[in-house]
Amino acid sequence: MKAMLIVNPSSGKEEALNYVNQIEELLNKKGYEVKTVQTEKELDAMKFCQNACRDEFEMVVSLGGDGTLNETINGMVDQHHRPKLGVVPLGTVNDFARALNIPLDAEEAVNILSSDRTKKVDIGRMNDHYFVNIVAIGAIAEASYEVTPEQKTKFGSLAYIMEGLKTLASTPDYPLYIEHDEQVWEGNAFLFLAALTNSTAGFEQLAPQAKVNDGLMHCYIVKKSNVLQLASLTSSMLKGELRHQKGVEYFTARSLKVSSSKALVTNVDGEEGDPLPAVFSVKPQHIEVIVE
């Protein structure tokens, strides 16, 4: 049996390499021949994973943050052979790990790699790219690009939200045209979210009804709020009550098309995505992840 360990050496305050020997030893004991590769630039993780699929590795382990994991999964989707996926989260937010109850403590997550249990999970597609957690369009999506690495290190996932909330009070809403499962919504909103899992942007209950394998995107249209409503909005996000908040429309969809007369970009799993228009769909239970 063969396993590939994809390491982002700059993840986890550059602690990723500290876990390599431990993972190699654990997988060797499970009978795996381990090939360890390190990312140096963008798309390396995706290419490494494509090679592992082509060479029919039985397991691929992502050792890094959400960006490394996103690339790894992009390399796995639609391949003829897809290895089991192991996740050792070392990023700032680690939404995918949270949604699957994979420990955020790296030592504990490493131990799960010896588990024989797996779970099939949905993968989202936006145009020609894939995502595992959330796509955001609007104010918070735009604001997330203003977050500095220093803020990210100091505040973690809160950095995105803090920057986003600063922006919400002063940002205009945007015209959106949303087609979903043969229905249409048209109007102005300052935020649109399409979530695949319950843990998104560090909010572990943003979409509490979302399951990792329900084949659905859980969508929220957030209309313009004034400053006084922002505290209530944030509170509802923390409590998992966003869909009940005044000024929020909620629906589920298997497919989506979002467009706007304004030039808007998307935020995909915390990274800058394509500009609108964008087409979305779900690949149900497409990838098998090692779980506790």
* Residue positions annotated with a catalytic role: 271
Q: Are 50 and 60 in contact (CB under 8 A)?
A: no
Q: Which residue has the tokens 């409590």?
A: 239
Collapsing DSSP to helix, strand or coil, 128 comes out as: coil
8 Å CB contact between 194 and 280: yes
- The answer to whether 270 touches 93, Cβ cutoff 8 Å, is yes
- Asked if residues 143 and 166 have their Cβ atoms less than 8 Å apart, the reply is yes
Find where tokens 């397991």 sit. Answer: 59
Compute the distance between CA of residue 3 and CA of residue 127 in angstroms, rounded to an integer.
30
- SS3 at position 192: strand
Closest-CA residue to 121 (of 106, 103, 102): 102
- Spatial contact of 34 and 43, defined as CB atoms under 8 Å apart: no
CA distances from 87 to 13, 101, 125, 282 (A): 17, 11, 20, 21
Contact present, 270 and 280 (Cβ < 8 Å): no
Asked if 254 and 75 count as a contact pair (C-beta separation under 8 A), the reply is no
Q: Which two tokens stand for residue 290?
A: 């090692």
Structure tokens given for 151: 């803020």
